[in-house]
Amino acid sequence: MPMEAGRKMKLWQAGSCVLCAAINRRYKIDLWGTEFSGGWVTGRLLDFKVAGDLLLLLATPMTFVFRRIAAAIILLAGLLCLPLYLLFTAPGPFRTLVGGEWKTPLSANWAWDWWTIVGIATVGLAS
């Protein structure tokens, strides 16, 4: 019986990792090649997102061999992807925390975007 529970936990972890990777891969893919990708702050956020994508892809098969190490990698990937989600959900507080010079004026402190909310939820689910 304990072997069955361990297998279910591995499948749950791998499945949530794949879901998080799929949502993260889909999220804001159209930002590459724009001015957003070359910014001092925003360019780094996209780099973090790419690193998170790669770590999620690494952690998925690793779950079946080294589950705890894969869980730590998934947590790190989630933390790397989260700032981009927070920028699009809470641009006002994000700009206040990060500072810097922004080329576009702030239109609202909070924004509701379904893909952002789903991304935050999947980061929480996978972590």
Summarised one tens digit per residue, pLDDT across range 9-18 is: 888 888 888 8
In a domain, 3, yes or no: no
126 pLDDT band, cuts 50/70/90, is: low
For 96, counting Cβ atoms within 10 Å of its Cβ (0-12 exposed, 13-18 middle, 19+ buried), the class is exposed
In a domain, 9, yes or no: no
C-alpha to C-alpha distances, 38 to 24, 35, 117, nearest whole angstrom: 20, 5, 25
Number of domains in the chain: 1
In a domain, 7, yes or no: no
Answering whether pTM is above 0.75, one says yes
pLDDT digits (tens, 9 = 90+) for 63-93: 899 989 999 999 999 899 889 888 888 888 9
In a domain, 95, yes or no: yes
Predicted confidence (pLDDT) at residue 121 exceeds the cutoff of 80: yes
User: Of 50, 63, 67, 72, whose CA–CA distance to 18 is shortest?
Assistant: 63
Place of tokens 């957003």: 36
Provide the residue range defining the domain that includes 91.
14-126
DSSP secondary structure string, 73-108?
HHHHHHHHHHHHHHHHH-HHHHHHHH----SSPP--
Indicate the angle between helix axes 42-62 and 2-26, nearest 10 degrees.
150
In a domain, 57, yes or no: yes
User: Of 59, 83, 81, 85, whose CA–CA distance to 72 is shortest?
Assistant: 59
